[in-house]
Structure 1
Amino acid sequence: MQNKNKTVIKSMDLLNLFLTHHKLSMNDMVQLSGMPKTSVHRMIGSLSDMGFLHKNKDGYYSLGLLFLQFGNLVAERLDIRHIALAIMEKLRDDIGFAVHLVLRDGEASIYIEKLDTHHPVRLFTKIGKKAPLYAGASSRTILAFMPDSETEAYLAEVELEPIGSGTILGKDELRALLAQTRQTGYSFSRSELEDYTAELSAPIFDHSGQIIAALSIAGLEVQFGEEHIPDLIQKVRSAAAEISLKLGYGGSRV
């Protein structure tokens, strides 16, 4: 906490409550945060005045429209998103699966772009959704190609908790899958983040050869028949390599 403004950090803790709650009363925020009511009341007033929170007529608070403005600016300024979009559209139209672009966000992965399919059944994924680095093909792709020291530090600290019925819960098994991903250049998961779904992912590298993102396709598990997977692997890896090339990557890590 040294050299950090405690009020700012506590205000951020309040805002983080809205990641999992659409709207909250002041009492809700007091209960969930564990902060004194007077402190919460003071911070809510400041956050509302600045446009970070909006109070409706029933007395409940939700995130203010200022976040939409900032969110749009962040999305517009993510060069990789613009570079990848045309390639993602081509891949989606070719294979008919949802296509995702995923970045690392600390000890999680975050979906920054999604192209959905025209199928009536849609996936749980959405832009802004996060997943732990140990769960799901995209997360595991990022974890596999992170610097070894960072990967090992993460594995030493993380507790593997079940999310879907197929979530990897053993660290030895996880390490083996990470090694396999580094060797083959792709990762595949079944029912790790949501039951009955599957995801196939490949790494995207920047001009320095560092992992910068993961490209993935996802759909219902039954759509990933064993006879189709080799062709899907080739297409996802090829699309990811094309994005890497446009980002200035000229090497071959896989």
Structure 2
Amino acid sequence: MEKAGTEKSGADKPMHVVVRALSALTHLAAYRQGLTLQQLHRQLEIPVGSMHRLMNTLEQTGFVSRSPTTKRYVLGPGALALGQVNDYEPFVIQPPAPLVEAERLCGETVVLTQLIDGRVVAVSIAGTERPLRLFVRLGQEVPLHAAASARAILAYQDPVFVEMLLGSYPRPSFTSGTLREMNRLIDHLALVRERGFDVCDNELDEGVWAVSAPVRSGPAGRVSTAVTVCAAWSRVADPADRARAARVVLDTAQALSLDSGYGGTFGPDPGVDELAALLSAHDAAAGAAGAAGGERP
């Protein structure tokens, strides 16, 4: 029997390298924008050589990711998976009143998505009796690169975090129009911020058109949810119909934002005629990309 006051044996002592690895991961969790190797070295007081070897190992095993542009480390998919929620049922909610009203106004499926542990999940759907084959179902993850409902959220996240997410998960082609290339995705997110909404035109589901806008919450206007109208392409072939659907989405996003405690400005707020022009420009650009054999913008 071990005597009182006796030091722990070597087998009972924590392994130094494990403690350092856990310290680095815990520290990075507080810095969504990431930290450079030198910052980690200084803040954790770990010798730079040891820090470099440690981060290399964590990167190779997927617990951290390093941006090739900023050289900052952020938590990788391995670390995020430790806290990942596999059952999204607790996040599913009844359609809030603005979602129900949006479905009534446009007669199409309206979806609310939420960013949860690095995934974007459909947490509420105001359904419609009109037939529509959709990739997304209630409680299901949507692809980060191919769904307007995801990109409308990612456009307002920290760029390093977004780059890590897009680089850490597969970006398969669902249709010939799926946008997959990293640099074009980053450029596309900038376009989403510029116009205040996103469009998914035959990128995720053949014959399905969708428009999505971010929902802001709290005084700071943080974006973690988005509202989306999805319709069969044949029902929104007229640019005026697409413009009206986009206006419903923007109005619904604003109503949900106000309900979530946001009282600031909403940025671009185009009218139906301006929306029709923006959507026509999007269609023209998409057609040009398709004719050239490239991805949609």
Same fold (TM over 0.5): yes
Distance 1:120 1:156, change over 3 A: closer
Deviation at 1:202, TM superposition (A): 0.4
Q: Does residue 242 of the first structure (1) align with residue 255 of the second (2)? A: yes
Letter in structure 2 aligned against 1:137 = A
Deviates more, 1:84-93 or 1:240-249: 84-93
Q: Does residue 175 of the first structure (1) align with residue 175 of the second (2)? A: no
Residues 144 and 166 of structure 2 are in contact (CA less than 8 Å); yes or no, is this contact kept in structure 1? Answer: no
Distance 1:230 1:198 in 2: 12
Letter in structure 1 aligned against 2:206 = D
Letter in structure 1 aligned against 2:231 = G
Distance 1:159 1:100 in 2: 23
Q: Does residue 221 of the first structure (1) align with residue 233 of the second (2)? A: yes
Residues 101 and 112 of structure 1 are in contact (CA less than 8 Å); yes or no, is this contact kept in structure 2? Answer: yes
Deviates more, 1:85-94 or 1:218-227: 218-227
For the residue of structure 1 that corresponds to 2:186, the secondary structure is helix
Q: Superposed, which structure 2 residues align to 1:197-236 within 5 Å?
A: 197-207=208-218, 208-225=220-237, 226-236=239-249
Distance 2:183 2:236 in 1: 26
Where does the alignment leave 5 or more consecutive residues of structure 1 unmatched? 4-66
Distance 2:229 2:134 in 1: 11
Determine the structure 2 residue equivalent to 1:164: 175
Distance 2:170 2:134 in 1: 26
For the residue of structure 2 that corresponds to 1:182, the secondary structure is helix
Distance 1:122 1:157 in 2: 28
Q: Superposed, which structure 2 residues align to 1:78-227 within 5 Å?
A: 81=93, 85-207=96-218, 208-225=220-237, 226-227=239-240
Deviation at 1:133, TM superposition (A): 1.4
For the residue of structure 1 that corresponds to 2:211, the secondary structure is strand
Letter in structure 1 aligned against 2:212 = S
Residues 166 and 195 of structure 1 are in contact (CA less than 8 Å); yes or no, is this contact kept in structure 2? Answer: no
- 4+ runs deviating over 6 angstroms: none
Letter in structure 2 aligned against 1:231 = R
Greater Rg over alpha carbons, structure: 2
Distance 1:124 1:133, change over 3 A: closer
Distance 1:246 1:213 in 2: 13
For the residue of structure 2 that corresponds to 1:202, the secondary structure is strand
Superposed CA offset, 1:165-216 (max 9, x none): 3210222221221111101110000122221111110000110311020100
Deviation at 1:111, TM superposition (A): 0.5
Superposed CA offset, 1:83-128 (max 9, x none): x611111110110110001011333311011111111344343211
Determine the structure 2 residue equivalent to 1:35: none
Letter in structure 2 aligned against 1:176 = D
Letter in structure 2 aligned against 1:234 = R
Distance 2:184 2:159 in 1: 17
Distance 1:120 1:152, change over 3 A: closer
User: Under a length normalisation based on structure 2, what TM-score does the superposition of the two structures give?
Assistant: 0.56
Residues 134 and 143 of structure 1 are in contact (CA less than 8 Å); yes or no, is this contact kept in structure 2? Answer: no
- Give aligned pairs, total: 182
CA RMSD of aligned residues (A): 2.4
For the residue of structure 2 that corresponds to 1:243, the secondary structure is helix
Distance 2:259 2:243 in 1: 25
Distance 1:121 1:206 in 2: 30
User: Under a length normalisation based on structure 1, what TM-score does the superposition of the two structures give?
Assistant: 0.65
Determine the structure 2 residue equivalent to 1:26: none
For the residue of structure 1 that corresponds to 2:255, the secondary structure is helix
Deviation at 1:135, TM superposition (A): 1.4
Distance 2:203 2:126 in 1: 20
Q: Percent identity?
A: 24
Letter in structure 1 aligned against 2:258 = L
Superposed CA offset, 1:194-249 (max 9, x none): 21111110000110311020100101122222222222212111110110011101
